[in-house]
């Protein structure tokens, strides 16, 4: 409830240019040479943690920019209603800026969002996640709605409706786990995922009118969950740091290596890579053409808007420091949404969508000029190419000349470890004649430290053959884009041969088997209704086999771990995979199932070694829990003791008994040191606990990956039940048999 007066002084000096009319704005735009300028600029004087920015209407009317800042605080910028805020509980007024209220979380904030959670609330609920807790807070009433402990942490948060669950949920992603809470703090949704979650978004991926949950994680995967059922997995090549919904089934993503792009369902529309990092992405229709653009805020302070279809830049602007977040809201309360960009130093700029007469052209250069320039450039390129052919026909000598029939030969082969070299896949590249290969560049995603690998022999080691050792760290299929510089020994100009070779998914497995190695004890068995020939086809496509195989019964040596992997198929269609590596077994099951287009697949499994490890981990979890409780109790004791000591010391001071006072304070100092030490123990204990919990979550995920479709979800939820009821034996039964019963 706000008085007229407070509405009138809505935009004080801080939002300076807001009084400009559209006409003056267009004039200003032309004067400045850029067609789109910020409609307001704020300097908030508070740092903003990257990716922890949101806009919430906490009173149901006024949007407030809310962001996590230093020292475990969250600030709420509310320029709309001054002098009406009660100062109690968590909220306190910032003395630096009267428009800002600070919310004390007392823990490092890891994520936050705002939105409608409860059924009968007037305004948005603010949700703040930390490594151990999730707080749902009513800013307007200044009261906690719920405060839950979340053992898996909250790295990312999203609020909204998921699938058929009736109430909106606050879904957090932590260490390998996803959890959804309703307004009462009840946990309505729980599942596990492959690795630590870094980004979440809700969108109608299937087009059935209900939201699916998209999860980006540190194992480079974007997973799509229809409630707790895993629908699809898209493998990228770096940690997925941000996701945002564009429109329909289209969504944008950003990776830790500076890639941003757009997917439509499982198909990638476009992507671009920059040397800077994308800090935040957001969908907003900046050029007012009815279709949202992907707005990216970069680590170098750049903001750009890219067409959702082509990735072409239609607008850019620069901040002086890294962008922290990109959000939108009707910050001027005039019925128009503004794009709001914030930098980590607390600078905020709001942009209004372009007016219609700009015709979608937000850049200052005239597009006609650009078109002509582009066409001329193309003409120039063609002319140059033509000249290349003409000169080539004329001259028959000179530097950098190679026989016209030079062809590059490439071969991939598996090389087991030798004394001098680790086990690797060898890519050999050779020329058939006296020409030499000066250098080889291989561009590939996910297998090298950067995006490329270079082999550059020294001048005395030049030859017509280059062998490149490749050690793919994960079992993923990779396209190797090879560029080889071919010429003479003293050439300064080389021909560039470009070839793309595919490295099959399971390339680090050697068909040669050392009979002395003990057979693996772990196994997974399942039945398929398909001919053995199809399995043979799958083998030939996914393994590096020099001659190919014709039977589905094969044994490989793993070049990474050294253990064996054997695959066998019985006449009744039962396939048994034997390996001690449960991850590999999961990968094989998933790869085979998708090759044979199997939707549901149940399996029996046993991985004695791994299960034993897991059992130890589970006991450790219990131990860490009890240590945690003991330490908490000890800490409470100490704090009582401190209180007493302090009173005694102050008493002594008032009495003028300096000797006792000194003694007490010295004791207090010792106690303080003890407390710090104890804190260190506690935090170590906590970290160890977190690591254990993560591996438990991973175990559930791994057990799930041995199955496909419904049986997979059954295993995951049955495992979860077993853990909840603390029934370790049931857990292992589920993992082995695939169901809780029997």
Residue 378 binding other proteins, by CB under 8 A: yes
Selected from 392, 677, 683, 725, the binder of other proteins by CB under 8 A is 392
Residue 316 binding other proteins, by CB under 8 A: no
Least distance from C-beta 399 to other proteins, angstroms? 7
Q: Which is nearer to other proteins, 321 or 648 (CB)?
A: 321
Least distance from C-beta 179 to other proteins, angstroms? 31
Strand order in the sheet with 73-77: 53-57, 63-69, 73-77, 100-104, 91-93
Distance CA(426)–CA(482), nearest Å, equals 14
> Which of 304, 307, 336, 294 lies closest to 22 in space, CA to CA?
336
Token pair belonging to 215: 């999860």
Q: Which stretch binds other proteins (CB under 8 A): 88-96, 106-114, 214-222, 624-632?
A: 88-96
Least distance from C-beta 321 to other proteins, angstroms? 9
Span 269-298, contacts to other proteins by CB under 8 A: 273-275
Least distance from C-beta 456 to other proteins, angstroms? 5
Selected from 95, 516, 572, 741, the binder of other proteins by CB under 8 A is 95
Residue 355 binding other proteins, by CB under 8 A: no
Selected from 11, 270, 448, 641, the binder of other proteins by CB under 8 A is 448
# residues contacting other proteins (CB under 8 A): 80
Least distance from C-beta 141 to other proteins, angstroms? 24
Residue 395 binding other proteins, by CB under 8 A: yes
Distance CA(705)–CA(195), nearest Å, equals 13
Least distance from C-beta 310 to other proteins, angstroms? 12
Radius of gyration of the CA atoms of the chain, in A: 31
Residue 401 binding other proteins, by CB under 8 A: yes
Q: Which is nearer to other proteins, 400 or 561 (CB)?
A: 400
Distance CA(441)–CA(272), nearest Å, equals 20
Span 458-487, contacts to other proteins by CB under 8 A: 458, 461, 483, 485
User: Strand pairing partners for 66?
Assistant: 54, 76
Residue 409 binding other proteins, by CB under 8 A: no
Q: Which is nearer to other proteins, 97 or 228 (CB)?
A: 97
**Which residues are CB-contacts of 142 (< 8 A; sequence separation ≥ 6)?**
86, 88, 89, 90, 91
Selected from 61, 363, 439, 737, the binder of other proteins by CB under 8 A is 439
Residue 248 binding other proteins, by CB under 8 A: no
Selected from 69, 131, 307, 602, the binder of other proteins by CB under 8 A is 69
Q: Which is nearer to other proteins, 386 or 647 (CB)?
A: 386
Dihedral angle sign, alpha carbons of residues 641, 643, 646, 652? negative
Token pair belonging to 79: 């320029």
Q: Which is nearer to other proteins, 498 or 650 (CB)?
A: 498
CB atoms within 10 A of CB 148: 18
- Return the SS3 of 22: helix
- Return the SS3 of 56: strand
Residue 23 binding other proteins, by CB under 8 A: no
Q: Which is nearer to other proteins, 403 or 546 (CB)?
A: 403
Task: Say if residues 324 and 67 touch (Cβ distance below 8 Å).
Answer: yes
Span 630-689, contacts to other proteins by CB under 8 A: none
Residue 415 binding other proteins, by CB under 8 A: no
Dihedral angle sign, alpha carbons of residues 203, 207, 208, 209? positive
Determine the distance from the C-alpha atom of residue 693 to the mean position of all C-alpha atoms in its chain, rounded to a whole number: 20
CB atoms within 10 A of CB 202: 22
Please name the helix (run of DSSP H) or strand (run of DSSP E) that holds residue 85, with its range, or none.
none
DSSP single-letter state for residue 358: G
Selected from 83, 86, 290, 398, the binder of other proteins by CB under 8 A is 398
Distance CA(540)–CA(499), nearest Å, equals 22
**Which residues are CB-contacts of 352 (< 8 A; sequence separation ≥ 6)?**
39, 336, 338, 339
Exposure class string for 110-139: b at 16+ Cβ within 10 A, else e: bbbbbbbbbeebebbbbbbbbbbbbbbbbb
Least distance from C-beta 110 to other proteins, angstroms? 18
C-alpha distances (whole Å) from 288 to each of 31, 35, 291, 302 are 22, 13, 7, 21
Q: Which is nearer to other proteins, 17 or 457 (CB)?
A: 457
Selected from 89, 268, 387, 710, the binder of other proteins by CB under 8 A is 387
Token pair belonging to 740: 């809780």
Residue 368 binding other proteins, by CB under 8 A: yes
Q: Which is nearer to other proteins, 160 or 487 (CB)?
A: 487
Selected from 86, 166, 290, 450, the binder of other proteins by CB under 8 A is 450
- The three state secondary structure string of 35-55 is CCCCCEEEECCCCCCCCCEEE
Selected from 376, 421, 500, 502, the binder of other proteins by CB under 8 A is 376
Task: Say if residues 689 and 683 touch (Cβ distance below 8 Å).
Answer: no
Selected from 106, 365, 672, 677, the binder of other proteins by CB under 8 A is 365
Distance CA(546)–CA(1), nearest Å, equals 77
Least distance from C-beta 450 to other proteins, angstroms? 3
Least distance from C-beta 86 to other proteins, angstroms? 18
Selected from 7, 143, 382, 512, the binder of other proteins by CB under 8 A is 382
Least distance from C-beta 486 to other proteins, angstroms? 10
Q: Which stretch binds other proteins (CB under 8 A): 182-190, 221-229, 385-393, 606-614?
A: 385-393
């Amino acid at each position: 409830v706000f008085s007229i007066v407070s509405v009138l002084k809505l935009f004080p000096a801080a939002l300076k240019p807001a009084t400009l009319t559209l006409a003056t704005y267009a004039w200003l735009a032309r004067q400045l040479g850029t067609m789109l300028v910020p409609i307001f600029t704020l300097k908030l004087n508070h740092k903003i943690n990257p990716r922890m920015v949101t806009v919430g209407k906490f009173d149901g009317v006024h949007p407030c920019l809310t962001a996590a800042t230093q020292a475990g605080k969250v600030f709420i910028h509310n320029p709309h209603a001054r002098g009406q805020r009660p100062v109690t509980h968590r909220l306190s007024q910032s003395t630096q800026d009267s428009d800002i209220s600070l919310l004390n979380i007392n823990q490092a904030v890891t994520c936050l969002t705002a939105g409608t959670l409860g059924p009968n609330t007037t305004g948005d609920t603010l949700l703040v996640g930390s490594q151990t807790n999730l707080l749902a807070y009513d800013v307007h009433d200044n009261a906690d709605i719920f405060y839950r402990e979340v053992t898996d942490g909250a790295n990312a948060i999203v609020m909204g409706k998921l699938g058929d669950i009736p109430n909106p949920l606050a879904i957090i992603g932590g260490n390998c786990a996803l959890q959804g809470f309703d307004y009462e703090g009840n946990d309505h949704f729980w599942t596990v995922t492959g690795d630590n979650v870094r980004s979440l978004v809700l969108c109608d991926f299937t087009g059935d009118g209900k939201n699916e949950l998209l999860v980006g994680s540190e194992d480079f995967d974007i997973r799509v969950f229809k409630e707790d059922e895993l629908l699809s997995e898209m493998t990228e090549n770096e940690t997925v740091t941000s996701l945002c919904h564009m429109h329909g089934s289209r969504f944008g993503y950003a990776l830790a290596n500076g890639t941003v792009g757009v997917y439509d369902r499982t198909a990638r529309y476009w992507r671009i890579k920059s040397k800077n990092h994308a800090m935040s992405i957001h969908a907003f229709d900046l050029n007012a053409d009815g279709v949202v653009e992907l707005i990216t805020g970069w680590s170098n302070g750049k903001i750009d808007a890219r067409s959702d279809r082509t990735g072409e830049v239609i607008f850019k602007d620069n901040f002086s420091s890294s962008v922290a977040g990109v959000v939108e809201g009707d910050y001027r309360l005039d019925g128009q949404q503004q794009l709001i960009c914030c930098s980590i130093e607390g600078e905020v700029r709001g942009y209004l969508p372009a007016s219609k007469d700009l015709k979608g052209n937000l850049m200052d250069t005239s597009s006609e000029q650009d078109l002509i320039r582009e066409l001329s450039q193309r003409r120039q390129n063609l002319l140059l190419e033509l000249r290349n052919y003409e000169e080539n026909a004329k001259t028959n000598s000179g530097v950098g000349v190679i026989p016209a029939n030079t062809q590059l030969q490439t071969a991939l082969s598996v090389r087991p470890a030798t004394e001098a070299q680790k086990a690797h896949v060898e890519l050999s590249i050779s020329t058939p004649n006296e020409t030499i290969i000066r250098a080889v560049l291989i561009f590939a995603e996910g297998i090298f430290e950067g995006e490329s690998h270079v082999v550059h022999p020294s001048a005395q080691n030049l030859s017509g053959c280059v062998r490149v050792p490749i050690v793919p760290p994960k079992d993923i299929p990779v396209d190797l884009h090879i560029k080889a510089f071919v010429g003479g020994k003293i050439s300064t100009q080389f021909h560039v041969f470009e070839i793309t070779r595919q490295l099959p998914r399971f390339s680090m497995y050697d068909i040669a088997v050392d009979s002395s190695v003990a057979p693996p004890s772990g196994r997974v068995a399942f039945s398929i209704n398909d001919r053995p020939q199809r399995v043979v086809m799958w083998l030939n496509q996914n393994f590096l086999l020099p001659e190919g195989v014709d039977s589905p019964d094969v044994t490989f040596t793993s070049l990474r771990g050294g253990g064996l992997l054997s695959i066998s198929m019985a006449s009744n269609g039962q396939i048994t995979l034997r390996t001690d590596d449960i991850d590999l077994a999961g990968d094989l099951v998933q790869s085979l199932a998708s090759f044979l287009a199997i939707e549901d697949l149940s399996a029996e499994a046993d991985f004695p070694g791994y299960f034993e490890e897991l059992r130890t981990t589970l006991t450790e979890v219990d131990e860490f829990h009890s240590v945690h409780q003991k330490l908490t109790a000890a800490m409470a004791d100490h704090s009582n003791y401190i209180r007493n000591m302090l009173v005694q010391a102050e008493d002594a001071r008032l009495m003028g008994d300096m000797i006792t006072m000194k003694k007490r304070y010295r004791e207090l100092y010792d106690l303080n040191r003890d407390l710090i030490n104890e804190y260190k123990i506690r935090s170590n204990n906590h970290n160890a606990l977190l690591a254990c919990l993560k591996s438990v979550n991973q175990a559930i995920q791994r057990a799930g990956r041995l199955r496909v479709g419904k049986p997979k979800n059954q295993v995951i939820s049955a495992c979860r039940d077993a853990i909840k009821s603390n029934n370790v034996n049931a857990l292992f039964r589920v993992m082995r048999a695939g169901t809780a019963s029997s």
